[in-house]
Structures are given as structure tokens and as C-alpha cells.
Amino acid sequence: MMKTLKAGAADVSLGELRGAWREAARITLDAHSRAAIARNQQCVVAALAGQQPIYGINTGFGSLANVRIPDDELLQLQENLVLSHCAGIGEYLDEGTTRLVIVLKVLSLAQGYSGVRPELVEALCRLLEHEVYPCIPARGSVGASGDLAPLAHMTAVLLGKGRARHRGREHDAAEALALAGIEPLVLQPKEGLALLNGTQVSTALALGALFRAEDVFAAACVAGALSVDAARGSDTPFDERISRVRRHRGQQDVAALYRRLLHGSAIRASHDHCERVQDPYSLRCQPQVMGACLTVIRQVADVLLDEAHAVTDNPLVFNDDGSVISGGNFHAEPVALACDALATAVAEIGALSERRIALLIDARMSRLPPFLVEHSGLNSGFMIPQVTAVALASENKVLAHPASVDSLPTSANQEDHVSMATNAALRLHRMTANTAAIVAIELLAAAQGVEFHRPLRSSAALEEALAGVRALSARIETDRSLSADITALQGLILDGGFSDEARALLPSSSG
């Protein structure tokens, strides 16, 4: 059964948005929203009757805002707007992100400040219900005045133009609509502008990256705990009192998670009175580093959930006095800054994981066989997987450069500061894939390390994680290719395969 989200008086949850990103979903309007949309659209009709210039309704766009459009060309104005803005390039957004784009656009329009007809919003709902997903090129938005080019490609499908996927197969838009029994629309005044203005593409991309970051974070915590046992590290740094006096909730929550993950480990109990005084930072400071990353993930989630319900087109229409007001809610700076913060956290998760891999393969630090393999010299073991992890961690450092500080003017300097939110969000998908691969390598290395301590066993939770690793990758006895093993584990991480233990800590666990 396709899950149903409801656009209306109550907000949807982050968990519901994650569900719509993961699998097919529909969205419906409640009666209150439909009535509010209809009342609001009548304000546009009344404003047009007054013959005053209203941006984008009876004027040109951007630096052409001073050009007045005759009444008999107002519908053509809206269609021209859509087609002229279909200038995106590159690979198409994946279906999950495209679903989120449509969901977010419905949530925005349903609030009744955009001056569109209920029939228009319901047409978007029908796209989701019948799994008609516009083919939206990923490149071409600067995140102000909204995600213009990608949203134009979405909107063109409602007109029967462009390309769309219908239940997994790509068609001309008109054919996809016909297969789904959906009639093409003729846009009314304000409607093209309401559809193209908005931050829904950058926000959908950012939400998808947030969900991936949650799964990578959870897997990194499991890998980090497994590495503690592989290196015969101490769980003393995870003592509740240490994190309590630091005060940060993220650190306290992560320290508690590590205590749970390591509870009952016979490996830990076997070296209670060893001579090592302190572990290296990559083991000892996990609550401090991962806790700070968790705090960023939670802060970003709050920003993106607000943006998911935001009205971000322009101008806005207010029912109380019929005002049509131009502003700048389309500027995606909140999304850009949130993505830049998340990029730093994702890079740090990978950087810390790579340092633990380096520790495990170094016999002087881990007291395990060199490069985690018997007969080292003849066998190279995990020597080159660690090099791969270094390459990915280094690439993440480059990608973590803030996109929001790189503004270039557009539209003949009318739009003279832009957010670059879409670029900020797009690069997070590559970064989360990189960090997932680093954590996959750590899981392989830590599993290998723990098995050198047999017959001693780790905790029940970590032994379950180790079994998950071994379901995809056999223990390394002699050298073999690990590329496919790393890729398989990377996929499992991004599918949430190691997220259960940390699920309650993650923002999208609600709903």
C-alpha cells in the first residue's frame, strides 16, 4: 500500500518525509486547505481587475519586471515563463528526490498564500498517486530566485511538455500523462510563477542528504565501537560523568550509545587491568567528535523541516486584505548554510573513521598483526583499503568548502546575491557516499581485528553487526580483491543496515 501524507493544518513529520523519499507515496489536501487555496486565488482575480501592475502576474520577470503585459497575453506569459526556464542540464534527479520535490511544493501551495487554483495543487498530487515523476536535470539552480530551472522542468510536465518517468519507464510528458489518465493544464495568471519560485529542489536534495548522513552516522558509531574492541581499547572514556560535565546533549547521547554497544563484551573484560593508560583520540574522543556531528545533524534537521513547510514563492497573496506583496522567501540561504554545516559534519565522520582504520593496521598501535592479515609481507591485507579511505577523506575536505559564500549575480544584476543552495545540497550526496565507503572499510577492518581475539567475543550488539559484515564479506585469510566487498557494505550502510542501534538518536525517527 502506498503511504499517504496529508497537506493541511498539521505539519508532516521528518519521518514521513523520509518515507516518501524511500518509496512511492501520495499526498492529499484536506478540506480546509482546499478552501484556503480557492479563497486565495480569488484575491489574484480581484487584483487583476484593478489594473495595477503586479510582479509576474501582469509584468515581466527579473530585470524585465517593469514591462507591462496586456491582459490577452497573461496566460501565454505563464507558459513562456515555464518553457524559457527549462534550461537545466546534467543527470536527472533520482525518483526519491523528485517525489520529495513534489511533496514539498504541495505543502507550500496548500497553505493558501500563492494565488493558485486548487486544481493545480491537485494535479501535482495526481502525479505522485500515479507515479509520474518529471525528469528534472540536477544542474542549473543557484538557489534564488528559487530553484527556477529544475522547478520549470517539473512544471513543464503538467503542461504535457518535457520528459517524465511513469512507473519506472521514461516517456514524453504528454504520453506519461495519458498513461496515467491526467489531462495537461493551462496555467492561469500567477500559477507558473508560484510553481517555479521556491526552494523545493534544494530542500529535497538537502533532506535526502540528511537522511543519508543519519545512516552513515549510525554505521560509523557501530564501526567505532567495533574498532574499540578490535584494538582492545577502553570504554572508560564513555563514562556518563565525563559527558555530563561537558553539558552537550549530543555528546551525552553518543557516549550512552557506545556504552550500550560495548556492554557485555568479553574482549573488553579481558584487559581490564592492562598497562595502557590512554587510547588514541580516534577511539577515546568518539563521544566528543561524533556527539558534535549529531548536534549538527539535529540542527540541520530542524532547519530543513521548517523549510519543508515554508511558503517560498513570490509575490505572496494575503487573504486578510487582498494584498499581493513582493518579498524574498525564495532565497534559499537557510538551506545553503545548513548544507554547509552538514558537509563539515559528514567530512569529520569520515576523517575520524579513517584514523581508526590507520590505527588498526598499524601493529605498533593496535597490537594486531600488521595490516590485519596473517603472513604480512606475502600478504598486504588492509594496506590499500586504507589508502582508498584516505583518498575519500581528502576528497571530502575539498567538497566541504562552503558553497554559500560563493555568490554570483544573475538576471542583469537584479538578482545580485544568490545562495547556491542546490550546489550545496548536491555535493552532500557525493560526500555521504564517500563517507559510507570509508566506514565500510572500517567495518571490514574492525571485524577482522575482533576475530583475531577469538575465542573471546564482543558484545551481543557488535557480534550482530559483525555477522552483518560477514554476510557480505568473508574474512581475509590471504590477499584478494576487496572492491566489491567495500561497495556492498557501502550500499548496506546507505540503506540503513547499521542504523537500528542509533535509531532513537536520529531526527527522522519521529513519525
Catalytic residue, candidates 55, 92, 133, 258 = 55
Neighbouring CB atoms inside 10 A of 369's CB total 17
C-alpha distances out from residue 9 to 17, 64, 103, 120, Å = 16, 37, 15, 19
Torsion of CA 209, 215, 218, 223, to 10 degrees: -110
How many CA atoms lie less than 13 Å away from 296 in the CB half-sphere?
A: 22
Are 109 and 37 in contact, with CB atoms under 8 Å apart? yes
In angstroms, the CA 372 to CA 306 distance is 47
Are 243 and 259 in contact, with CB atoms under 8 Å apart? no
Question: Dmax of the chain from CA atoms?
Answer: 87
Pairing of strands 137-139, 89-92: antiparallel
In angstroms, the CA 346 to CA 399 distance is 10
Instruction: Give Cβ neighbours of residue 107 (< 8 Å, ≥ 6 apart).
Output: 7, 12, 27, 308, 309
Where do we find the cell 545580485?
A: 416
113 has catalytic annotation:
no
Residue 236 DSSP class: G
Q: Where are the beta strands (DSSP E) in 68-212?
A: 89-92, 132-134, 137-139, 163-166, 169-172
Q: Nine-digit cell at 377? A: 609481507
Q: Where are the beta strands (DSSP E) in 34-180?
A: 89-92, 132-134, 137-139, 163-166, 169-172
Neighbouring CB atoms inside 10 A of 52's CB total 10
Are 62 and 85 in contact, with CB atoms under 8 Å apart? no
The three-class DSSP label of residue 169 is strand
Cite the active site residues. Answer: 55
